[in-house]
Chains A and B, each alone.
Chain A
Amino acid sequence: MPDLLIELFSEEIPARMQRRAAQDLKKLVTDGMVEAGLTYASAAEFSTPRRLALTIDGVLANSPTTVEERKGPRADAPEKAIEGFLRGAGLTRDQLEERETPKGPVLFARIEKRGQPAAEIVAEVLEKTIRTFPWPKSMRWGAGALRWVRPLHSILCILSDEAGAEVVPLEIEGIVAGDRTAGHRFMSPDRFSVVTFDDYTAKLKRAYVVLDPAERADAIWHDATNMAFASGLEVVEDKGLLAEVSGLVEWPVVLMGRIADDFLDLPPEVLQTSMKEHQKFFSVRNPKTGRIERFITVANRETADNGATILAGNEKVLSARLADAKFFWENDLRVAKAGMEPWLEQLKNVTFHAKLGTQAERIDRIAALARELAPMVGADADQAERAARLAKADLSSEMVYEFPELQGLMGRYYIAAAGEEAAIAAAAEEHYSPLGPSDDVPTAPVSVAVALADKIDTLTGFWAIDEKPTGSKDPFALRRAALGGIRLVLDNRLSLKLLKLFSQSIDEHFSHLKKEWEDPEWQADIDAMKRVGAKSLDEFYELQAALREKHTSQKERDASRRAFMEHIAAFDVQKFVSHEDELLTFLHDRLKVYLRDQGIRHDIIDACIAMEGNDDLTLLVKRARALSDALKTEDGENLIQGFKRANNILTQAEAADGVEYSYGADVKFAETDEERALFAALDQAEAQIEPALQQQDFATAMTALAGLRGPIDAFFEAVMINADNATVRRNRLNLLSRITKLCTSVADLTRIEG
């Protein structure tokens, strides 16, 4: 059985796409072959910057011949029906067989599908694969229509067995498949032909190409760690970088270079980011000091001077890069040490969002809110406010302009350099957290205050201007902000009245508006606006956006002024709406998703959200956990059934009678022991539950509640609610009402499913 070897040789394939592309090639070709009946023993894929390769062993020489029997019309069917059948089967009348069946003589066709030689199938499958290849991004080149990730130059496609190799006949847009490939672009560019996969890899290696990316990565890591070790240093591990670098070379040659002394005092994160992002260098660290002292680069060739020229070049490039970083660092430090005023000043010119004002305005709001929050999270109010004022100052720094991923971290360095307290510096880095679901949650009180204020300001702001997430669209990452806020509250066990904080935050948005209104240019209009009030927050913000049109031409200014006046004319004082409740619902939805991942059912959360104080998320979750635990016990589960039964009977009776049975159950009208026992049990449970709830001890409350299960079950077993005696009936309904009231004082159990 022959083996198949395919190589698609192109201009340089992006490193990040190579592995996936080789896998796609394997999948598409083998799937296509198998579908055509051409099975094989094993397949393996490889990639280098310039080629995707696939070797398939033990391919059938031909796909097997298959026979299909097809039942046709009766032999005496109208001529038209028989003709149609013949057309479909591709046969003539004399090729059909007539067989007797219980329904009379019927025509049968035997359709033989002859096996196809492997080469034909491979050619078809490979052509289709190339034409429909799922590149993340593909392109055309020259005047042709074919798409590939970069120009495709040659196709090697051979079937080989003991007798030798046979080229699979295939031509795509002028590229004729053959048995030839080329070696390393510079070290061995000549083309050569191959006969088998082993021959292919051996000749490639002689031509300075290591085909297997894993082999290249291993070689790089091996040489790099050895080289660092020999100097008493260690390579900073970076798997992503290793994979990328091994996709940039066909013949890896590891070189270790020096970082000029001038740059060794830059923060290690800056060195590492600059070297990785710009140069794809590995950082080499001194394990004793933690300082990054050297770098590893991987060249794509050997040279007569053992890489000396290449290394010198790389060192020079790095020096230039780091000179830039150092320039930023030193300039930034100067500004930082002088108190960062110019940075904060600059943020007045940076719009955060057209309707939400500048970054400076945003910082003012966050600072005010952080101050409010401080006592609630155990932070010093002055510290929290100061931290909030400085936390985003680094956005104006040159380093962050160059490396946005260093925002916050640079803030920490700069604020510390300014001589501020460590907690204030730390808040700069930590206030962005948590970013993802697995990101660490800050615990330092000052950081927590600023982080929460930041998230609340973002949420109330975008909510107010009606930029809420819809479906998969969440351009301002509000879901992430909400989850971050939730985790900050829960992980730090904070008891916060969120609704109050939301409304304070919204007030902050307003007070900025007011400032804008004091702009004399608009005073007349604003006076008018104050007289009429605004219909909604959205309109407030639209007006604010109109007020901002200061840099536009006179023509546009006049137009926006007209629009502004029309707005004012349309105001309705009475219809002011706020968004706090809606925003809280959004947070609750996020909380449900978060708790569902922790195994708490959504109906349990709903039952707790329905209770008062649901804007205190810590309380809410405590309640939900207790309820969830209680429902896992047998008593708890059965209590729900008892509760539901009581509730159903009660609501039906109330609907039928048109009265509300809410109080007045009296043990003196009890007729049975079970009834009296339930009275006693309720007395006892109430005495436990009420104080427990006051202390937010939901576990005790739930346990007490679950303890009612026995008396309730026994009651329903022994007692008929709808007694003939009206007094007894009313008393029993009032008793049911006592049950439901007590139950729903813990959580709204009507929302529990099942």
Chain B
Amino acid sequence: MSDTTTAPKSFQEIILRLQNYWAAKGCAVLQPYDMEVGAGTFHPATTLRSLGKQPWAAAYVQPSRRPTDGRYGENPNRLQHYYQYQVLIKPSPPDLQDLYLGSLEAIGIDMALHDIRFVEDDWESPTLGAWGLGWEVWCDGMEVSQFTYFQQVGGHDCHPVSGELTYGLERLAMYVLGVDHVMDMPFNDPSLRRGADGREVSPIPLSYGDVFKQTEEEYARWNFDVADTDVLLRHFDEAETHCREILDAPYDDPKTGKRIIMVHPAYDQCIKASHLFNLLDARGVISVTERQAYIGRVRALSKMCADAFVQTRSGGWQPDSAA
């Protein structure tokens, strides 16, 4: 691939190169999950698929939301909405570190000039009841990725172990493109002159700010000052109740007579509860002690979803031949 030798010119080119790289390494390139999540890990392609014995290899972009990180689009690299690139391979291959470094080269990071480091960072998601050991990967002192060997998810031991890579796309791209403020980053290639048919086209250069500056302002105001906490609290309770109710339904569907455990619909409610918690946190209405209680409630949901998932075929369940 010749484009790895040249420097990428835009945010989207970096995403495309990652997609191509991991596709070439055999990953299924999935699409983002269509719900508000705090991180790519919440995508069921990671949380649920890291459970059980079925091999799995997936890569995808996941828009992620962290309401407390909103800075009205003014901070050079903090955003309440940003993109993560996520790779999950089960079982983790022995050369995962090399594969990862290859992906950095693919997006134009010259290993001979930069200082790449694997710095201890044990990952834990109290809301997912998950933990793993690994590192944050530093490029010249900047964290460009999270590298984790999952040990437990939803309270279940991971066996085999999945290797998870998470790239913070904006930060990584800013670094590669030499941009100091995220809003100045070229979203598409500003120098592009030709369309696919070879005809000259007028470039419509769009910066990250053109796309997201206004939304950052809107959401920062809403997240911090306006979101109705009573409504959020109520929705949290509802999502929690709903999740439990979905999982309480009998496994056998009375209409089709099939065994259908509704793990994903239930997990959607768990994701919702988690995001609502993040919003409440940004509104500053959750104290340190209450925080633990809320996290515990979300964890209970993700554990129930994990318990249910391992009862499905994708989770490794097999119909009992004797029955």
Contacts and interface: CB of A to CB of B under 8 A. Distances in A.
A248 B141 CA distance: 12
A309 B114 contact: yes
B312 interface: no
A313 B114 contact: yes
A248 B161 contact: no
Contact of B132 (A139, A304, A553): A139
Given A141-B149, A323-B75, A248 B114 contact: no
Interface in B153-177: 158-161, 163, 175
Given A153-B94, A351-B290, A142 B115 contact: no
B44 to A, nearest CB: 22
Given A143-B160, A324-B78, A346-B284, A304 B113 contact: yes
B210 interface: no
Contacts of B200: none
Contact of B140 (A309, A320, A324): A309
Given A310-B140, A351-B289, A12 B118 contact: yes
Contact of B237 (A11, A317, A359, A553): A553
Nearest to B293: A354
A309 B113 contact: yes
Interface string B113-146: 1111111101000000000111100011110000
A416 interface: no
A489 to B, nearest CB: 29
B160 A142 contact: yes
A41 B320 CA distance: 61
Contacts of B132: 139
A354 B289 contact: yes
A359 B149 CA distance: 39
A362 to B, nearest CB: 11
Interface in A101-149: 137-143, 149
Contacts of B237: 552-553
A249 B120 CA distance: 13
A297 interface: yes
A314 B289 contact: no
A655 B94 CA distance: 84
Interface string B256-299: 00000000000000000000000000001101111000000000
A42 interface: no
Contact of B141 (A49, A143, A297, A552): A297
Nearest to A14: B120
A729 interface: no
Contact of A304 (B76, B112, B122, B288): B112
Interface in B84-116: 91-94, 97, 111-116
Interface in A272-322: 279-281, 297, 299-301, 303-305, 309-314, 316-320
A301 B139 CA distance: 12
B117 A300 contact: yes
B73 to A, nearest CB: 12
A248 B91 contact: no
Contacts of B135: 12
A676 interface: no
Nearest to B236: A551
A150 B133 contact: yes
B285 A142 contact: no
B115 A310 contact: yes
B77 interface: yes
A309 B139 CA distance: 11
A349 B284 contact: yes
Interface residues of A, number: 58
Contacts of A11: 97, 118
A142 B94 CA distance: 7
A187 to B, nearest CB: 9
A140 B161 contact: yes
Contacts of B74: 327
B75 A327 contact: yes
Contacts of B149: 139-141, 150-151
A663 interface: no
Contacts of A139: 132-133, 149, 151, 161
B115 A301 contact: yes
Contacts of B233: 551
A186 interface: yes
A351 B76 contact: no
B260 to A, nearest CB: 29
A1 interface: no
A556 to B, nearest CB: 8
B234 interface: yes
A349 B285 contact: yes
Contacts of B111: 186
Nearest to A353: B289
Interface in A517-555: 551-553
Nearest to B237: A553
A249 B288 CA distance: 37
A577 interface: no
A350 interface: yes
A669 interface: no
Given A142-B93, A313-B140, A327-B71, A551 B230 contact: yes
Q: Identify which of A141, A303, A314, A352 gathers the most chain B CB atoms within 10 Å of its CB.
A: A141
Contacts of B159: 140, 143
B180 interface: yes
Nearest to A15: B120
A16 interface: yes
A12 B132 CA distance: 15
Interface in A314-358: 314, 316-320, 323-324, 327, 346, 349-354, 358
Contact of A300 (B93, B115, B163): B115
A739 to B, nearest CB: 57
Nearest to B135: A12
Contact of B180 (A304, A310, A316, A324): A316
Nearest to A303: B113
Contact of B133 (A137, A305, A358): A137
A147 to B, nearest CB: 10
A280 B78 CA distance: 21
Given A139-B133, A143-B160, A151-B94, A318 B113 contact: no
A186 B116 contact: yes
Given A303-B112, A304-B112, A314-B141, A142 B161 contact: yes
A300 B137 CA distance: 13
B230 to A, nearest CB: 7
Contacts of A354: 289-290
A317 B140 contact: yes
A16 B289 contact: no
29 contacts: A11-B97, A12-B119, A15-B120, A16-B120, A49-B118, A139-B132, A139-B133, A139-B161, A140-B149, A141-B91, A141-B92, A141-B149, A151-B92, A153-B94, A186-B112, A248-B117, A279-B141, A300-B115, A309-B114, A313-B115, A323-B76, A324-B75, A324-B78, A349-B284, A349-B285, A352-B289, A358-B287, A551-B233, A553-B234
- 4 smallest CB-CB distances across A and B, nearest first, come from A313-B140, A14-B120, A351-B287, A12-B118
Given A139-B161, A149-B133, A313-B141, 16 more contacts: A15-B120, A16-B120, A139-B133, A140-B149, A140-B151, A141-B161, A141-B163, A153-B94, A185-B116, A248-B119, A313-B139, A316-B142, A316-B180, A317-B140, A319-B76, A354-B289
